[in-house]
Structures are given as structure tokens and as C-alpha cells.
């Protein structure tokens, strides 16, 4: 079991209101109010299932709260099709929650699955896969949970919980060192990261005492040279590669010796995992 992030129940309530509106006119016309049924939520393609807590909350809100999980979240499942959850209750309640439940489950499982593919691609290199803030508004906490359950790590959640000094911050502060020192004074307990587009900026960030340098859109040769700079001048400084990552090049990037690889596509471009709901009338 996972823990639903704060505000998820309200998010689900809004999603259901958006879908159901004044009522399910099709189900109300064709399904007797007293009819009960069992539904099978089915995984139809290999991947990592994540989001069953959300599915349970969806059906709890529609009135079908008798649920039974049949798989473990966070594990890769190759054998498909397979049931992932059984839902028992009023047929109208199941139908009312079907689309919202599958939308959440397919989206979150898609993120977990894509993350798992990247984690597998860099296996054994020591590099860790990070997400970014490129998330759908209102879904960040759930999407970052999905990354974690796919084997990735969460980067900062927002502008409030870690420092990331970018080009505009450096220009307005008067330089890398000035920006780092200002952030240390303002938020002494926070992790400080500096974005660098050149090797000179990498050296500046190391000399300024940044905890991590984000190596923005550097090719493999520049990444290797950044690692060399770190090893000679600031062995305690973490290095994060970012920009232009895909499943074909991520291992080569990981083998340069960087500590982290951040990938916006984990959340902004993950394809939905194919899941469906099959409903059988109860005997």
C-alpha cells in the first residue's frame, strides 16, 4: 500500500464530477439500480503497475468499495493480460468510476514503466535516474510517487524545497559565487545546485561550493571532462546530466561517471500503460 498525497481525494472528486456531471445517462437507462457486478481491471501490456490506491479511492467515492488487489505494485509484470484488481459492488457505481480510475491508473503506471526502463538501462553504472518539475498541474505528487515506484528518485518538488541556480539567477545576483552565497544565507539548510552550460561554469560552481552541478545539454565528451574537473577540484560535488536523454543514449551518459541523470520525459511524455475494465454481472 502507498500513501495518497494530500489533496488526492479532492482531486478525484473533481475528476469524477467532471466525468459524471448530472448523472450517467447511459447506465441509468440500461442498468437496473439494484444490479451488482464484479469487474476485473486488466493489465494488457508488460510494465509496472502503480496507482491502485487511487483506483480504490475512485471506487470508494462512487460507492463500490469491495476491492481486492491481485498484483504487487512497483514490480515489472511481463505476463499479460492479467488481472490487477477485482471490484465488487453496484454495477452503476463501477461504471461511474471506470474511466476516471483507468485514466489515473494508465497514466501513473505509464510513468512507473518508463522510469523502470531508464533505471534498467543504466543498471550497474552507479548513476541514478531523477524526475523533474515537468509535471501536469495538480498531479505532481502522484506523478513523482510513480517515478519512485518505478525505481527512480525525486528531484525537488517545487521552488521551495531545494535551490537550483540558473542562468538568469546568476546574472541578477552578479555571478555564480554571489548567487551561491546569497542562497546559503537565505536558506542555510537547503541543497544548492548550479546549472552549467560550459566547463568554465562547472569549475565556477565547484569553486563556489555548490552541492551539485547540473550539466545542461552537454555531449558525452564534455560530460567526461566535467567529471574530471570534479575529481580534481571538488570530489564532494555531485554531477547531474540533463537534456536530450533517451533510452538509446542514457547508458552512454551514465558511463561518463555522472551521479544523476534527470529526465523530464518520465512525467511529461510517458505513454499510458494499457489497462482496461471488464465487467461481469454477479450471479
Total number of residues shown for the chain? 283
Angle at which helices 140-149 and 91-121 cross, to 10°: 60
Report residue 71 as a C-alpha cell: 498484483
Residue 179: phi, psi to the nearest 5?
A: -65, -45
For residue 148, give the C-alpha cell.
519512485
- Give catalytic status of residue 216 as yes or no: yes
Using pLDDT thresholds of 50, 70 and 90, give the confidence band for residue 60.
very high
Residue range 174-201: average pLDDT? 95
At the fourth CATH level, the homologous superfamily of domain 125-268 is Aldolase class I (3.20.20.70)
Q: How far is CA 20 from CA 26, 106, 243, in A?
A: 11, 19, 40
134 in active site: yes
Q: List, for residues 132-169, the tens digit of each pLDDT value.
A: 999 999 999 999 999 999 999 999 999 999 999 999 99
What tens digit of pLDDT does each residue of 100-110 get?
999 999 999 99
Question: Is residue 1 pLDDT above 60, yes or no?
Answer: no
Cα dihedral 185, 189, 194, 200 sign: positive
- Main-chain dihedrals φ then ψ at residue 197, nearest 5 degrees: -105, -15
Element holding 128 (H helix, E strand):
strand 128-130
HEC profile of 146-180: HHHHCCCECCCCCCCCCEEECHHHHHHHCCHHHHH
Indicate if 99 belongs to the active site. Answer: yes
First to last CA, the chain: 30
Catalytic residue among 99, 133, 225, 251: 99
Asked if residue 283 has pLDDT above 70, the reply is: no
Query: Do the strands 275-281 and 260-262 form a parallel or antiparallel pair, or are they unpaired?
Result: unpaired
* Percentage, residues of the chain above pLDDT 90: 95
Q: Name 76's bridge partners.
A: 48
Q: What pLDDT does residue 280 have?
A: 87
pLDDT at position 236 over 90: no
For the record, the C-alpha cell of 145 comes out as: 510517487
The mean predicted confidence, pLDDT, of the chain is: 96
User: 229: how many CB neighbours lie within 10 A of its CB?
Assistant: 19
Average pLDDT over residues 241-257: 97
Give the model confidence (pLDDT) of 64-83 as tens digits: 989 999 999 999 999 999 99
> Phi/psi at 71 (nearest 5 deg)?
-140, 165
Distance in angstroms (rounded) separating the CA atoms of residues 151 and 235: 26
Predicted confidence (pLDDT) per residue in 109-135, tens digit: 999 999 999 999 999 999 999 999 999
pLDDT value, residue 233 = 77
Which residue, chain included where needed, has cell 518508463?
114
Looking at residue 104, its pLDDT comes to 98
Mean pLDDT of 263-276: 98
**Catalytic site residue from 60, 69, 82, 134:** 134
Residue 3: the pLDDT is 80
pLDDT at 2: 62
The partner residues of 194 in beta bridges, in order of sequence, read 165, 213
CA distance 57 to 13: 9
CATH code assigned to 8-119+271-281: 3.90.1170.20
Domain ranges of the chain: 8-119+271-281, 125-268
Q: Which of 24, 56, 193, 216 is flagged as catalytic?
A: 216
Q: Is 166 a catalytic residue?
A: yes
- Indicate yes or no: pTM above 0.85: yes
Amino acid at each position: 500500500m502507498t500513501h495518497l498525497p494530500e489533496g488526492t481525494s479532492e482531486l478525484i472528486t473533481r475528476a469524477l464530477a467532471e466525468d459524471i456531471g448530472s448523472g450517467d445517462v447511459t447506465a441509468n437507462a440500461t442498468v437496473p439500480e439494484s444490479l451488482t457486478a464484479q469487474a476485473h481491471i486488466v493489465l494488457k501490456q508488460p510494465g509496472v503497475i502503480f496507482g491502485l490506491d487511487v483506483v480504490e479511492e475512485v471506487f470508494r467515492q462512487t460507492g463500490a468499495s469491495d476491492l481486492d488487489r491481485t498484483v504487487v505494485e512497483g514490480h515489472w509484470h511481463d505476463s499479460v493480460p492479467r488481472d490487477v484488481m477485482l471490484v465488487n459492488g453496484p454495477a452503476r457505481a463501477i461504471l461511474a468510476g471506470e474511466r476516471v480510475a483507468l485514466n489515473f491508473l494508465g497514466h501513473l503506471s505509464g510513468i512507473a514503466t518508463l522510469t523502470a526502463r531508464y533505471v534498467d538501462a543504466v543498471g550497474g553504472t552507479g548513476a541514478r535516474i531523477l524526475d523533474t518539475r515537468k509535471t501536469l498541474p495538480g498531479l505532481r505528487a502522484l506523478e513523482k510517487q510513480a517515478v519512485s515506484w518505478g525505481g527512480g528518485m525525486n528531484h525537488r518538488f517545487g521552488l521551495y524545497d531545494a535551490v537550483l541556480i540558473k542562468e538568469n539567477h546568476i546574472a541578477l545576483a552578479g555571478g555564480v559565487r554571489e548567487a551561491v552565497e546569497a542562497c546559503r544565507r537565505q536558506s542555510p539548510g537547503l541543497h544548492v545546485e548550479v546549472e552549467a552550460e560550459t566547463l568554465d561554469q562547472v569549475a565556477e560552481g565547484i569553486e563556489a561550493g555548490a552541492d551539485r552541478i547540473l550539466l545542461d545539454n552537454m555531449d558525452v565528451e564534455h560530460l567526461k571532462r566535467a567529471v574530471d574537473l570534479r575529481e580534481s577540484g571538488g570530489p564532494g560535488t555531485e554531477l547531474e546530466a540533463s537534456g536530450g536523454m533517451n533510452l538509446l543514449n542514457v547508458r552512454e551518459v551514465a558511463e561518463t561517471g555522472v551521479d544523476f541523470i534527470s529526465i523530464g520525459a518520465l512525467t511529461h511524455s510517458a505513454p499510458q500503460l494499457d489497462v482496461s475494465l471488464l465487467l461481469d454481472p454477479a450471479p
